[in-house]
A and B are shown apart, each in its own frame.
Chain A
């Protein structure tokens, strides 16, 4: 019989006041903190970190926006103010390694913060999870997800922007028995339609919505789970499944959620 254990999430400021310095900062991101659907992903990932005894902490109320959507919406001034503020916070806690559950935050930290003196080892959660599973083999129960055919949608800011196509696929192959590829995928993958600050506005007029087209491509694989690794992709694909009236038959899970399920946590 499984037992429930309450988890307390370590907060950077608390550890700091005790003179402790965790190895990793878990950067939750605005979607991870505020979006009701993506909060579940945050929780799933926090469980994974706890399960594997990772030495980490979050910033909690000290976290703020990386500035990514501001920069992509053309407001360089606001982006830079956010960036300098975040870098200042990181400096206070001497942060060196950052794990993110958002490819947009990942890209900004990795590629854009160095221009402002912020140089970190930035790890996307799919890569981090893959490393954990490799370091601790035999923890996953692949039977739990046996019933699912899983298709993975590549987020632009993880794939094309940063060349990370393998880690999410490796994780899925470790927890599932059947994986499918969407046509097109990897560097040819279609965007979910939310990047470049599109998440926060209506799309320009056209024949249809990008998320609808992408969902259709995902559904064409015959998958019953569309796996995503980005909060924006999750919102868009979930909307797409609703629009296609497939939300009862086809589920949209983040890689972290699939792993938490397969670990039985």
Chain B
């Protein structure tokens, strides 16, 4: 009974802290602008199955893709066991989901195998981070803290798998001959014979308890670290994929405010008078101008750097890094959010997302080739923010690079980005012959 009370108290504490973290993030979401109406649920579900559960985009890099997919699928199966541990902890039961019978055996059996697979994958990941000098894991946007963050998450997952296996091994050694023994343990059964043979019952009980508590407490700790870590994607990537931008990647979003204005200009009679709203600012210059989708993208970015490694500007040594756009956006909201919540929208810290975090030089280097978008394993759209910041520079500040200003003037005056007369448009067709 005592164990149940202690467990329930710890669980409650975990949920309270987690709830607070989510509430904070929810309040930041409320500062953002609308993105799009969430419809087309069938298509979204399909995308969730393909990209998230099927891990289709992560496999664009076959080896690390497979490693990640195995960790993810393992996570899904093992999580069911974690839910059971919570039930057991509160209700004082043993292997409460055992009532599921054959289904339970499949879940626990595959979870047991996955524990070893995940353990090995994590060791490979740690090796890649600590030993191999992989370009993708460096970059100006990745500070020491990002690296520590990665190592911490990998270490926690490693310990989670060790304790899970320890718990299963002790469970097999203790109860395999008992009538109410639940589950199948293909790996732990074998390990148990290997490592726990001949250990007295009392000590096995302790091994089981220690691993049980270690495992569940690590889950509680991990869950509460996540909202403050780049590994928040454990929570946000599924929603992020479900809430993917469904329009073709080449399409840029239409600014509705501008549309109303242009319609009025082109056809003053037909256009409707726009509702007298407060004057909108065009584009994005700071965290409060981004949409909820941009913010969700930034929270979901796990800084894997696949976007940056395929970016043509980045590959040729230019300052742009699509990953940095996401890292900076998240960092700026973390700084800007509390100011806005405490002091209202007039709060001013003399800083902005643009220039203080992301420079015009980075923004103008983007070719909008969409390699980053195609590559991102969880459908983040980096060029959308880049374009919105360009819009701010051009529409609010009239700050386009000189040659682009010339190009824009040419379109305005001649209907072409080059300074040629519209009268010369058919010159290509003069004296045109073909062989017959």
| Residues in A lying within 8 Å of B, measured CB to CB | 2-9, 11, 28, 30, 32-35, 39, 42-43, 46-47, 50-51, 58, 60-61, 63-65, 67, 69-78, 80-82, 84-85, 88, 107, 110-112, 115-116, 156-157, 160-162, 187-188, 190-191, 193-210, 212-214, 264-265
A219 to B248, CA, bound (A): 31
Q: Which residues of B contact A116 (CB under 8 A)?
A: 254, 259
Q: List 25 contacting pairs A-B, 8 Å CB cutoff, sorted by A.
A: A4-B433, A5-B435, A7-B429, A33-B424, A42-B428, A70-B411, A73-B407, A74-B400, A78-B408, A111-B247, A111-B250, A112-B252, A156-B369, A160-B370, A161-B249, A162-B248, A162-B250, A191-B312, A191-B369, A196-B366, A201-B401, A203-B318, A206-B316, A207-B317, A213-B312
A60 to B429, CA, bound (A): 10
A191 to B315, CA, bound (A): 11
* B251 interface residue per 8 A CB criterion: yes
* B152 interface residue per 8 A CB criterion: no
Interface pair B408/A73, CB less than 8 Å apart: yes
Interface pair A34/B416, CB less than 8 Å apart: yes
7 tightest A-B CB contacts, nearest first: A161-B250, A207-B317, A196-B368, A64-B415, A74-B390, A74-B394, A191-B369
Q: Which residues of A contact B435 (CB under 8 A)?
A: 2-5, 264-265
* B423 interface residue per 8 A CB criterion: yes
> A28-B428, A63-B425, A80-B258 given as contacts; is B400 within 8 A of A73 (CB)?
yes
Q: Which residues of A contact B422 (CB under 8 A)?
A: 61, 63-64
Q: Which residues of A contact B218 (CB under 8 A)?
A: none
A162 to B247, CA, bound (A): 11
* B320 interface residue per 8 A CB criterion: yes
Q: Which residues of B contact A209 (CB under 8 A)?
A: 316
Q: Which residues of B contact A156 (CB under 8 A)?
A: 367-371
In the complex, which of the residues B395, B403, B433, B436 contacts A202, with contact meaning CB atoms closer than 8 Å?
Answer: B403
* B189 interface residue per 8 A CB criterion: no
Interface pair A80/B262, CB less than 8 Å apart: yes
Q: How many residues of B contact A (CB 8 A)?
A: 74
Interface pair B428/A161, CB less than 8 Å apart: no
* B1 interface residue per 8 A CB criterion: no
A35 to B419, CA, bound (A): 11
Interface pair A32/B361, CB less than 8 Å apart: no
In the complex, which of the residues A6, A46, A160, A208 contacts B316, with contact meaning CB atoms closer than 8 Å?
Answer: A208
| Residues in B lying within 8 Å of A, measured CB to CB | 60, 247-252, 254-255, 258-259, 261-263, 265-266, 282-283, 310, 312-313, 315-320, 361, 364-371, 373-374, 383, 387, 390-395, 400-401, 403-404, 406-408, 411-412, 415-418, 420, 422-429, 431-436
Q: Which residues of A contact B312 (CB under 8 A)?
A: 190-191, 193, 210, 213-214
Q: How far is the CB of B359 from chain A (nearest CB, A)?
A: 10
Q: Which residues of A contact B316 (CB under 8 A)?
A: 193, 203, 206-210, 212-213
Apart from A28-B425, A212-B316: 12 A-B pairs, beta carbons within 8 A:
A5-B434, A5-B435, A6-B431, A8-B429, A43-B432, A63-B425, A65-B411, A70-B408, A160-B249, A201-B403, A206-B318, A265-B436
Q: Which residues of A contact B310 (CB under 8 A)?
A: 188
Q: Which residues of B contact A70 (CB under 8 A)?
A: 407-408, 411
In the complex, which of the residues B315, B365, B387, B426 contacts A204, with contact meaning CB atoms closer than 8 Å?
Answer: B365
Interface pair B391/A76, CB less than 8 Å apart: yes
> A70-B408, A204-B364, A204-B365 given as contacts; is B434 within 8 A of A161 (CB)?
no
By beta carbon, the residue of chain B nearest A156 is B369
A77 to B393, CA, bound (A): 13
Interface pair A77/B433, CB less than 8 Å apart: no
Interface pair B436/A3, CB less than 8 Å apart: yes
A34 to B414, CA, bound (A): 12
Q: Which residues of A contact B407 (CB under 8 A)?
A: 69-70, 73, 197, 200-201
Interface pair A61/B426, CB less than 8 Å apart: yes
In the complex, which of the residues B252, B371, B425, B436 contacts A160, with contact meaning CB atoms closer than 8 Å?
Answer: B371
Interface pair A205/B318, CB less than 8 Å apart: yes
